[in-house]
Structure 1
Amino acid sequence: MTEKPLKLGILGIEHRHIYGQLNNMQKIGSTCEKWWTEGDPVGTVKDFATEYPQLERVTNKQQILEDESIDLILIAAIPNERAQLAIEAMRHGKDVMVDKPGCTTLEQLAEIKQVVAETGRIWSVNFSERFEVEAVTKADQLIKAGKIGKVLQTIGLGPHRLNLPTRPDWFYDVEKYGGILCDIASHQIDQFLYFTGSDEAQVIASSVGNYANPNTQGLQDFGDILLRSDQGQAYIRVDWFTPDGLPTWGDGRLTILGTEGYIELRKYVDIDGRAGKNHLFLVNNQTCEHINATGTGLPYFENLVNDVRNRTATAMPQQHAFKVMELAIKAQNQAARVGL
């Protein structure tokens, strides 16, 4: 007997990551009928309604929260509002997939942990730079096959294009977006913990700054972190300095060093000229090769569907999501201020 498709609801579309969340869930058969967002976010409401004309925009979020047919809530609201929406959803018996950052303060994280414990619901953070990148899936397969030995270190680079004229006001309010390390660097922290197999880690050093945008004081256009665990080390750099000459929003890279080789991912573009994205370079004692990882697949979404149905944790262990956000927030809170 064919299982009934998972039914989705949407709370908050302030960030365009909602497209990746929804599209990838729909590709594996999940359905959605309703969405809600506060007000009319600049640049997303009109586009979202045009992209998904079959979905109904409801005026009251209770119409989604109290709909017992909905299994999973997708959230891409303003970052500092995501925790409360997730808490409401879980207290209404829904599992949650929230855009990163899943929360912006340690107090929010503590409340999320409490509600997860009370309700038994799933709070999953969609770290799209791992879960929506097929090159990362391929790297995972190669590492599990022993191609580079034991992972010792990751170097994660997360540059982004600023596109100032398109940004909403909350983009310049640290309290609302959480700061550059809480926001963007949560991706790279996730990858470090995952690939090194680390359950715990320490923030050894971190910094944030505004180097080139004096008219937007709340913006942090640069940040970096040094992490250490009993399994390995990481260096992370995130920024808003993608130049206009690059044909995509950012040259996101991940280098994974092992005892018997290394892997470099050029996730979104190869500036050496190879077309497309999902470029993987594998170097070990037997080979030095480029692999086009397109077509490898994105298992997170199917795994999350199975987790919702079976009450398992195959997409991402719950404690992993908690630890990533804890480290991202701590790195942000203790960061040295640099730049202007």
Structure 2
Amino acid sequence: MTTSEEPLKFAAIGLDHGHIMGLILGLQGAGADCAGYWSENDTPYTAMVAQQAPHIPRVNERAALLEDPTISLIVTAAVPVERAGIAVEAMRAGKDVVADKPGAIRLDQLAELRTAAAETGRFWSVAFSERTSSKATYHAKQLIDEGAIGRVVQTMGTGPHQLRPKTRPSWTFDADLAGGALADIASHQADQFLFLTDSTSAEVVSSTVGNFGNPDYPKFEDFGEMVLRSPQAQGYIRVDWYTPEGLGVWGDGRLLVLGTEGYIEIRKYIDLLGRPGGDHLFLVDQKGTHYLESFDVQLPYFPSIVRDVAERTTTAIPQEHVFTATEVALNAQASATRVGGLK
């Protein structure tokens, strides 16, 4: 295992989604070393790692990574239905885990993850990248904690995506493998609702999934929404796969936080008025309207993961928060009214 003198060693198991590159690069940027990777299938991301980091070995059996005592952490972006099983196996092999979202797609998988974490003392983290890679979201939390908008009453989060079906693997279009619109994409917004409202639980008031624009994929959910309530605040979440080609980025992700004395809006990936880049934060308070830059805000997730492995803590995202955010999304998915052309 890692010591204070040695860099953290981690390995990747399952390279089926592009977010695996964010996990690998994020940990490397925090000073960790990738000791190897395993993927059941050749994917664009196995080829990317082989090309960009040929020094990282690809192993033939994932057991070789799980049994290596020098590896402390496993990251995974496998097909979503497989991620929970990989995480349980890794924890029972003495490794901590960082999963791409969704970390689990069924409530029975989440129960197995809770049991494994409790019995092994290992942690299971999910990299909710709409928060962990967003400086503006952490900036918003700082402003909220400073009282910039008074008491938070509601969050509204949207996660629109560009589909480009010919570029997507087949599992994308099967909710039994990908998890469905709410279990998958909306887990980001469930995480942010809990984070920004200081909620430790949330009730799913209502939820809906539908297929309105993709009749050729009858098991694919191209729309989802949910309403949340906690003792602290209310929340509305909408996700979809309708982003048009003309936008110029993969999605116009937005987050609006309503307070009793003002509100904050974040345009995560594009400003329609033409400001370059992402992380656009707008604050409206009693004094006026403000456009705030977030360049100097630090992204704490991956450095905190490295410390958490060494110090046996869960500061990157508290363990119970990860469980709760995932549970909220899965409850919404399980109870959703099905509309449109879903089969």
**What's the TM-score once normalised by structure 1's chain length?**
0.97
Per the alignment, residue 276 of structure 1 pairs with 277
5+ long unaligned stretches in structure 1: none
Q: 2:82 matched to 1:114? A: no
Cα distance in 2 between the residues matched to 1:48 and 1:300: 22
Per the alignment, residue 34 of structure 1 pairs with 36
- How far does residue 3 in structure 1 lie from its aligned partner after superposition? 3.6
**Retained in 2: the 8 A contact 1:104–1:329?**
yes
Per the alignment, residue 14 of structure 2 pairs with 12
Cα distance in 1 between the residues matched to 2:132 and 2:244: 25
Cα distance in 2 between the residues matched to 1:47 and 1:83: 24
Matched residue SS, 2:144 = helix
Per the alignment, residue 264 of structure 1 pairs with 265
Letter in 2 for 1:153: Q
Cα distance in 2 between the residues matched to 1:44 and 1:211: 31
- How far does residue 70 in structure 1 lie from its aligned partner after superposition? 0.8
**Retained in 1: the 8 A contact 2:263–2:285?**
yes
**What's the TM-score once normalised by structure 2's chain length?**
0.96
Per the alignment, residue 70 of structure 1 pairs with 71
Moved more, 178-187 or 48-57: 48-57
Matched residue SS, 2:217 = coil
Cα distance in 1 between the residues matched to 2:259 and 2:310: 36
Cα distance in 1 between the residues matched to 2:270 and 2:5: 38
- How far does residue 44 in structure 1 lie from its aligned partner after superposition? 2.6
User: Where in structure 2 are the equivalents of 1:95-244 lying within 5 Å?
Assistant: 95-244=96-245
Matched residue SS, 1:203 = strand
Which of structure 1's runs of 4+ aligned residues deviate more than 6 A? none
Cα distance in 1 between the residues matched to 2:238 and 2:268: 15
Cα distance in 2 between the residues matched to 1:146 and 1:183: 32
Matched residue SS, 2:149 = coil
- How far does residue 100 in structure 1 lie from its aligned partner after superposition? 0.5
Between Structure 1 and Structure 2, how many residues are aligned? 339
5+ long unaligned stretches in structure 2: none
Cα distance in 2 between the residues matched to 1:299 and 1:150: 25
**Retained in 1: the 8 A contact 2:4–2:310?**
no
Matched residue SS, 1:23 = helix
1:163-202 alpha-carbon deviations (Å, 9 max, x no partner): 1111111111111101010000000000001111111111
Letter in 1 for 2:24: L
Per the alignment, residue 88 of structure 1 pairs with 89
Closer, same or farther: CA 187–260 of 1 in aligned 2, 3 Å: same
Cα distance in 2 between the residues matched to 1:196 and 1:36: 38
**Retained in 2: the 8 A contact 1:76–1:99?**
yes
Matched residue SS, 1:46 = helix
- How far does residue 48 in structure 1 lie from its aligned partner after superposition? 2.9
Matched residue SS, 2:142 = helix
**Retained in 2: the 8 A contact 1:277–1:294?**
no
Letter in 2 for 1:314: T
Paired-residue identity, %: 51
Letter in 2 for 1:298: L
Letter in 1 for 2:133: E
Cα distance in 1 between the residues matched to 2:146 and 2:301: 19
Cα distance in 1 between the residues matched to 2:293 and 2:331: 36
Matched residue SS, 2:291 = strand
- How far does residue 308 in structure 1 lie from its aligned partner after superposition? 1.1
Cα distance in 2 between the residues matched to 1:114 and 1:185: 24
**Retained in 1: the 8 A contact 2:35–2:71?**
no
Letter in 2 for 1:33: A
